[in-house]
Structure 1
Amino acid sequence: MLKPSYPIRTDRLILRPFTPGDLNGLHAIHSLPEVTRYLYWEPRDLEAVREALTTKITQSALLEEGQALTLAVELAATGELIGDGLLFWHSSLHRSGEIGYVFHPDHHGKGYATEVAQALLALGFDGLDLHRITGRLDGRNTASARLLERVGMRREAHLVENEMVKGEWTDELVYAILQREWRARR
């Protein structure tokens, strides 16, 4: 079980539960085709973002396996919502989880996603005592692959044309890190 103490602070960011007030900021991110290019869903209109936000608001703790923890990411200096981070608890028995993140393109290339990925790994390994955390991504998303490598994850699989996404076959990359590897890096 994981009930984080909020807000979670990194060097430049604040991670916190989503609130109804995040609707416009989240819409500014989720409505962009460049944001959803490698995701399962298309750009969202305001109503679809409202539905997604309703779910995100309920995902502020991990009480049992199969749940997701979804955190709003804001710039500490300005309070601007720039993205979201996800920690999914796959299995209690196998102590496994997965991380993910989505950011507004105006904030790419600044190291923010790296800060979030590191915070999510800390939550998974220290807060939930996971043994293994993965990251899965579209094989064309080279920036995300580099990010996962930067935080110490290794590529364990390249699944060729294993999913039909938005009408085309796509490759999937799977990255992972073990708790002991992550602790050794700290």
Structure 2
Amino acid sequence: MTTPTGLTTLPFSAHPIRTDRLLLRPLTENDIDDVFAYQSIPEVVEFLPWPLRNHEESREHTLERAGFTQIENDNDRLVLGVELVGADGQSGPVIGDLSVFLASGPNAQIEIGWVFHPDHQRKGYATEAARALLELAFGEIGAHRVFARLDPHNTASVALCQRLGMRQEAYFRESEIFKGAWSDLAIYAILRREWEDEI
């Protein structure tokens, strides 16, 4: 049995990742309108710690998150825009974004999150992007465990976690006040060896 080690790949910098239909890459100023398109939809932000944003607020938020391109210390994060790529290889809109949080470098723990425009849901894009995100977390960053925290009433995210092979580790009843009301919290996670079995 090998001796456990923390992350040895830090600092880690974001880079573009191509999947069959998507390009995952750091956000840029050119993505502001696309990001605003989903940050301004009530059903999108219902389960996110964000308010509805006007265009200027979305612009500021996008530019801030465009700077999240490296993880080195605990609580650092990466943010990757999910760009739709046409069959001809031409760039399309950014239809969502993915987050990678360094929860603990010494314990090789990574938290992930996602948000997608509802017009592009139920087409397999979220699963395709999130699988690539797990591959990044386990393969390149070297995580031992990857987890997601979500409201268990967010059925789309619960289903995505299950498609990824993540298991529910915890369910906390009314554990926090979220947007003015008591909210439940679920933890879904997958270990490196479980991910390797999945693939």
Structure-1 residue corresponding to 2:36: 27
Q: Which residue of 2 aligns with 1:3?
A: 13
The equivalences for 1:52-63 within 5 A come to: 52-63=61-72
1:98-137 → structure 2 map (5 Å cutoff)? 98-137=111-150
1:167 paired with 2:180, answer: yes
Question: What is the CA-CA distance between 1:132 and the residue it aligns to?
Answer: 0.5
| Distance of 1:24 and 1:3 partners within structure 2 | 25
Give 1:72's match in structure 2, choosing from 77, 81, 91: 81
Deviation beyond 2 Å, 4+ runs, structure 1: none
SS in 1 for 2:176: strand
SS, match of residue 174 in structure 1: strand
Structure 2: gaps spanning 5 or more residues:
1-9
Consecutive unaligned residues of structure 1, counting only runs of 5 or more, are none
SS at match of 1:177: strand
Matched letter for residue 160 of structure 2: L
Using the size of structure 2 for normalisation, the TM-score is: 0.89
What is the CA distance between 1:139 and its match in structure 2?
Answer: 1.6
Distance in 2 (alpha carbons) for counterparts of 1:160 and 1:171 = 5
Superposed CA deviations along residues 157-185 of structure 1, whole A, max 9, x for unmatched, are 11101111111111111000001111111
CA apart distance, 1:86:
0.7
Separation in 1, partners of 2:73, 2:45: 29
* Partner Cα distance (1:165, 1:3) in 2: 32
Aligned counterparts of 1:119 and 1:3: Cα–Cα separation in 2:
16
**Equivalent residue letter for 1:54:** L
Give the structure 1 partner of residue 197 of structure 2: 184
Q: Is the 8 A contact 1:139 1:170 kept in 2?
A: no
Cα deviations by residue, 1:35-59 (Å, 9 ceiling, x for unpaired): 0011122211112212211221111
Instruction: Quote the residue 2:59 is aligned against.
Output: 50
Q: 1:164, 1:151 → 2: CA distance?
A: 28
Query: What corresponds to 1:15 in structure 2?
Result: 24
Contact 1:29 1:104 in 2 (8 A): yes
Alignment partners' CA distance in 2, 1:183 and 1:65: 25
Amino acid paired to 1:153: M
User: CA RMSD of the aligned region, Å?
Assistant: 1.1
